[in-house]
């Protein structure tokens, strides 16, 4: 049943070697009064019955709905090679590469991943992955507290609200201050952020593009933060980095993000991966595992987990983070994704997202009573103002088979009529035109 191979004869032989009369004997160290009071689980089934049950559940998974939604998680293409290669059992069923000589596959792949993240973000040092976008942003905030020795952060209100909630939870535990600044409409309030930096500010945290889809040049913000001894943390959307200025180019000190878009399926919320990269001088403050290059006894190049003395298994409560398991396999998918597309393909993919979203903007913006809210340019997401509450419209369109966007009101009370719409390369012109038609219908019929 439990994939346990030993036959009754083998079990008998093993018990004889141990000198026990039964398997029950081996549990003698557990006092009777501590034994389980209940273990009420159904009898097992075969894998064929299991798959029937799983198919039934997957059928009610909303996959027939055309997604114009993001919220940090995006419906992008995944080349077949990503599934194939990351599914290789030697990657898939290995563990953390504690013994580097028999784990060069994982280690070199993670080194290549770290290099990819540095190139993507314009930074100099990446770790081997964190859990997801929200926890990566929280870890970046903690990292800034350690580097600066200060006790508060300025958090822009146009950062993904789900991520902000994670950051606030982490910081509240340590009684660190969080100054949240509301967005200026759909834009990052750059002046407001600059004016909020004090001597206690460890970092300013912004998202690029922001929750509403707006893109800003953060160069001046970086400079202002640095002038006051603070760091700039930028959470970026990796696909957008094929087109937009990278955090590194704008002077950021720590770049993080949700890596899902890089070759990881939607999978109802995970597993994905968080990425984090920084300047070389801050490398010792990075959380989590890092792979480094070295040589073996004969001078051959090889890779090992390095700077481990920062980590929990050595430094325990003084570690830079508690993270142990990360999301290596998802990071590997991210690496194979960018290597599949290559330098040009990745830039082309970003451009295609931009083109599709600009087209959608023009079509949706032409629907009667609908207007675009973003004042700044956008990448593949933008915010519309509808003549009706967005929540009602979204619920109605869901029943018609399309997820029209994420209503802003769920996260910004009072902004009832605004809707954030996402258009990836996977949305066809026909789907965009159909959304416009359905939207018009929902608004006026």
User: Toward other proteins, which CB reaches closer, 104 or 196?
Assistant: 104
Min CB(76)–other proteins separation in Å:
10
Closest distance between other proteins and the C-beta of residue 404, in Å?
A: 9
Q: How far is the CB of 192 from other proteins (least distance, A)?
A: 20
Least distance to other proteins, CB of residue 329, Å: 3
Query: C-beta of 9: minimal distance to other proteins in Å?
Result: 10
Q: Which is closer to other proteins, CB of 186 or CB of 403? A: 403
Q: HSE, CB side, 13 Å, CA atoms: give it for residue 425.
A: 15
CB atoms under 10 Å from CB of 17, counted, come to 7
Cα–Cα distance for residue pair 174/324, rounded to 1 Å: 20
> Given its phi and psi angles, is residue 91 left (phi above 0), alpha (psi -120 to 50 degrees) or beta?
alpha
Nearer to other proteins, 326 or 383 (CB): 326
Tell me the closest approach of the beta carbon of residue 176 to other proteins, in angstroms.
Answer: 10
Q: Which is nearer to other proteins, 48 or 368 (CB)?
A: 48
**Distance, CA of 21 to CA of 38 (rounded, Å):** 26
Please, which residue, 51 or 437, has the CB nearer to other proteins? 51
Name the 3-class secondary structure at 263: coil
CB of 331 to other proteins, least distance (A): 9
At its nearest, how many Å lie between other proteins and the CB of residue 20?
7
* Sequence-distant contacts of 88-94: CB under 8 A, at least 24 apart: 91/329, 91/332, 92/329
Instruction: Give 212 or 346: the residue with its C-beta nearer to other proteins.
Output: 346
* Strands 201-208 and 231-236, sheet pairing: parallel
Nearer to other proteins, 9 or 368 (CB): 9
Smaller CB separation from other proteins, 217 or 440: 217
Chain length of the chain: 445
Closest CA to 240 of 204, 216, 224: 216
Tell me the C-alpha distance between 157 and 405, whole Å.
Answer: 19
Q: How far is the CB of 373 from other proteins (least distance, A)?
A: 18
Q: What is the DSSP string of 182-211?
A: --BTTB--HHHHHHH--TTEEEEEEEES-T
Beta carbons of 86 and 333 less than 8 angstroms apart: yes
Pairing of strands 177-181, 152-156: parallel
Decide whether 201 or 320 has the Cβ nearer to other proteins: 320
Toward other proteins, which CB reaches closer, 199 or 399?
399
For residues 112 and 335, the answer to whether their CB atoms sit within 8 Å is yes
Q: Which of 346, 411, 352 is nearest to 383 (CA)?
A: 411
Distance of CA 302 to the CA centre of its chain: 29
Backbone phi, psi, residue 7, to 5°: -80, 165
Closest contact distance (angstroms) between CB of 182 and other proteins is 19
Closest alpha carbon to 188 in 161, 213, 223: 213
């Amino acid at each position: 049943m439990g994939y346990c191979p030993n036959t009754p004869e083998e079990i008998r032989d093993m018990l004889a070697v141990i000198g026990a009369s039964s398997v029950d004997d081996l549990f003698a160290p557990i006092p009777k009064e501590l034994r389980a009071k209940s273990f009420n689980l159904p009898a097992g089934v075969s894998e064929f019955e299991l798959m029937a049950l799983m198919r039934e559940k997957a059928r009610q998974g909303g996959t027939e709905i055309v997604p114009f939604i993001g919220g940090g998680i995006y419906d992008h293409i995944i080349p077949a090679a990503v599934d194939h290669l990351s599914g290789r059992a030697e990657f898939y069923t290995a563990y953390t590469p504690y013994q580097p000589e028999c784990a060069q596959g994982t280690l070199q792949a993670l080194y290549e991943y770290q290099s990819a993240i540095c190139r993507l973000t314009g930074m100099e040092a990446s770790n081997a992955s964190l859990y997801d976008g929200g926890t990566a942003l929280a870890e970046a905030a903690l990292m800034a507290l350690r580097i600066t020795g200060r006790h508060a952060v300025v958090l822009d209100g146009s950062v993904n609200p789900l991520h902000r909630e994670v950051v606030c939870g982490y910081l509240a535990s340590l009684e660190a201050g969080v100054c949240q600044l509301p967005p200026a409409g759909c834009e990052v309030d750059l002046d407001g952020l600059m004016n909020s930096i004090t001597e206690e500010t460890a970092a300013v945290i912004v998202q690029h593009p922001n929750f509403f889809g707006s893109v800003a040049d953060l160069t001046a913000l970086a400079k202002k933060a640095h002038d006051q001894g603070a760091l700039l943390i930028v959470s970026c959307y990796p696909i957008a980095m094929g087109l937009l200025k990278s955090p590194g180019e704008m002077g950021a000190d720590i770049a993080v993000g949700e890596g899902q878009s890089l070759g990881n399926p939607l999978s109802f919320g995970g597993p994905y991966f968080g990425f984090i990269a920084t300047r070389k001088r801050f490398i010792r403050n990075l959380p989590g595992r890092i792979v480094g290059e070295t040589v073996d006894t004969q001078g051959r190049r090889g890779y090992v987990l390095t700077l481990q003395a920062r980590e929990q298994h050595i430094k325990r409560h003084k570690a830079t983070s508690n993270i142990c398991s990360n999301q290596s396999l998802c990071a590997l998918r991210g690496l194979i994704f960018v290597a599949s597309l290559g330098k040009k393909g990745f830039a082309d993919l970003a451009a295609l997202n931009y083109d599709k979203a600009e087209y959608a903007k023009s079509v949706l913006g032409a629907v009667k009573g609908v207007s675009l809210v973003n004042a700044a340019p956008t990448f593949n997401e933008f915010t519309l103002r509808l003549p009706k509450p967005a929540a009602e419209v979204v619920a109605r369109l869901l029943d018609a088979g399309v997820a029209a966007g994420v209503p802003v009101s769920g996260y910004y009370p009072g902004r009832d009529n605004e809707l954030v719409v996402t258009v990836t390369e996977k949305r066809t012109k026909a789907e965009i035109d159909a959304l416009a038609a359905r939207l018009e219908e929902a608004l006026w019929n």
